[in-house]
Amino acid sequence: MRVADTATEPELACPIGPVVDIVFSRWTTPILWSLHAHGRQRFVELERRITRITPKVLTQRLRQLERDGLVVRTYHPEVPPRVEYEISELGRSLAPLFAHLAEWSTEHLGEVEEARQAYDTA
């Protein structure tokens, strides 16, 4: 691809754009984090851990994560039916990225807050 091509199509200028769209959509990170940290969970367990998410949004995000291959949904045909969610191998491959971001946040969020306060008072 020539440089001129990326200049005319801004979304192609950053190769990680699609990854950011998938992984850092609202609620995706807390869902993946919870499944990674706590293992296989039922819907209600996820709801309890991610307290501010609505059931409708949790359902939508889980379906999208399943579609993207980051979450595995297992249906158990019992009475009553049971559905469990777990992070897939593809989802687990994001663990180093999350660990690096957690490290970055520990080291730098204080600086970000200071910069915000300086900006807001200027």
Segment 18-55, tens digit of pLDDT = 888 888 888 999 999 999 999 999 999 999 999 999 99
Q: For residue 4, is pLDDT > 70?
A: no
- Range 3-121 classified under CATH 3.40.50.10470: no
Name the token pair of 30. 């807390």
The answer to whether 85 touches 43, Cβ cutoff 8 Å, is yes
Tens of pLDDT, residue by residue over 76-94, are 999 999 999 999 999 999 9
Element (H, E) at 19: helix 17-23
Whole-model pTM?
0.79
Cα 34 to Cα 53: distance, rounded to the nearest angstrom: 13
The answer to whether 71 touches 91, Cβ cutoff 8 Å, is yes
